Amino acid sequence: MKIFEKEGHKILWGDAIDVLTREISNRSIHLIFADPPYNIGKNFIDLPDKWDSEKSYLEWCYNWLESCIKKLKSNGSMYVMTATQHMPYFDIFLRDKVTILSRIVWHYDSSGVQAKKYFGSLYEPILHCVKDKNNYTFNSEDILVEAKTGAIRKLIDYRKPIPAVYNSKKVPGNVWKIPRVRYRMDEYENHPTQKPIALLERIIKASSNEGDIVLDPFSGTFTTSFVAKQLKRKSIGIEIQEEYVKIGLRRLQIMSEYNGQPLQKERRTFEHPIDKRQISLNLIEE
């Protein structure tokens, strides 16, 4: 295990369960966002996202879920993700131990290959849990969205003598339409399951306050820590893959170099400078 730290932001390079057990004090965390491997065959560099059976995947998950609950403060909140097919098991496991306040659907539009023989999956589930249903943070005023009826109209109160817009803002419901991170977006990092900044903004604003500690046991590109920093929270991010730890060190500006090499964002194909010589050669040939 290796620890990197700067100005209230910690990156722990190691195994989630091991780090949670050894490095994080019980009842010390205000908010946890856990986005584990989904057991669906993604590739986290050389770490295959596939367990021998669903049973062994779930056993592993129950282990870190249990540990996360221990680390939460008594007024703490936890958001948990997994694949749609595993979420019912998470739900049943967690409902005895915490209060599940919302079963959120993160809905996005599909791109790429479309299902033709079944209804394609256009959402990922998120459980919003709290340790104490009578004492938890929920900053509804900080996450208001525009209130719409039908397609585009605002909510109108027709009972008034002169109909008036009575509510143009509302607390979001449990279906969140937020685009996935795509290759050409500024926030894109080289990772197969990066979560959008907008998703973490809503979660962190709602369920923590400035100065609170936000923990992500499966940090990937460190979106959680990155947003926590922007919102003046403290962060702890755990990740097992060195390449992803390097993304975190850069995104959180903890280090500018790693093993003597500058930490730079990988240039995407469309960001390479156009080879002007090649273009003029092509023009001559035409």
Please report whether residue 20 would count as binding ligand SAM according to CB under 6 A.
no
Q: Which span (32-40, 160-168, 201-209, 263-271) binds ligand SAM, by CB under 6 A?
A: 32-40
Please report whether residue 39 would count as binding ligand SAM according to CB under 6 A.
no
**Residues 89-148 close enough to bind ligand SAM by CB under 6 A:** none
Judged by beta carbon, residue 136 or residue 244, the one nearer ligand SAM is 244
Please report whether residue 240 would count as binding ligand SAM according to CB under 6 A.
yes
Judged by beta carbon, residue 33 or residue 136, the one nearer ligand SAM is 33
Residue nearest to ligand SAM (CB): 220
Q: Which of 77, 207, 208, 221 touches ligand SAM by CB under 6 A? A: 221
Q: How far is the CB of 73 from ligand SAM (least distance, A)?
A: 22
**Residues 46-65 close enough to bind ligand SAM by CB under 6 A:** 47
Q: Which of 73, 195, 229, 233 touches ligand SAM by CB under 6 A? A: 195
Judged by beta carbon, residue 15 or residue 66, the one nearer ligand SAM is 15
Positive or negative CA dihedral for 60, 62, 63, 65?
positive
Q: How far is the CB of 37 from ligand SAM (least distance, A)?
A: 5
Please report whether residue 223 would count as binding ligand SAM according to CB under 6 A.
yes
Those residues whose C-beta lies under 8 Å from the C-beta of residue 215, and which sit 6 or more positions away, are 24, 29, 31, 32, 33, 68, 71, 235, 236, 237, 238
As a whole number of angstroms, the distance between CA 189 and CA 248 comes to 10
Please report whether residue 3 would count as binding ligand SAM according to CB under 6 A.
no
Report how far apart, in Å, the C-alpha atoms of 279 and of each of 46, 150, 268, 269, 273 are. Answer: 38, 50, 20, 17, 12
Please report whether residue 44 would count as binding ligand SAM according to CB under 6 A.
yes
| Most distant pair of Cα atoms in the chain: their distance | 75
Q: How far is the CB of 8 from ligand SAM (least distance, A)?
A: 20
**Residues touching ligand SAM: how many (CB under 6 A)?**
20
Q: How far is the CB of 275 from ligand SAM (least distance, A)?
A: 32
Q: Which of 9, 71, 86, 191 touches ligand SAM by CB under 6 A? A: 191
Q: Which of 31, 32, 37, 80 touches ligand SAM by CB under 6 A? A: 37
Judged by beta carbon, residue 5 or residue 243, the one nearer ligand SAM is 243
Residues that bind ligand SAM (CB under 6 A): 15-16, 35-37, 44, 47, 191, 193-195, 218, 220-221, 223, 238-241, 244
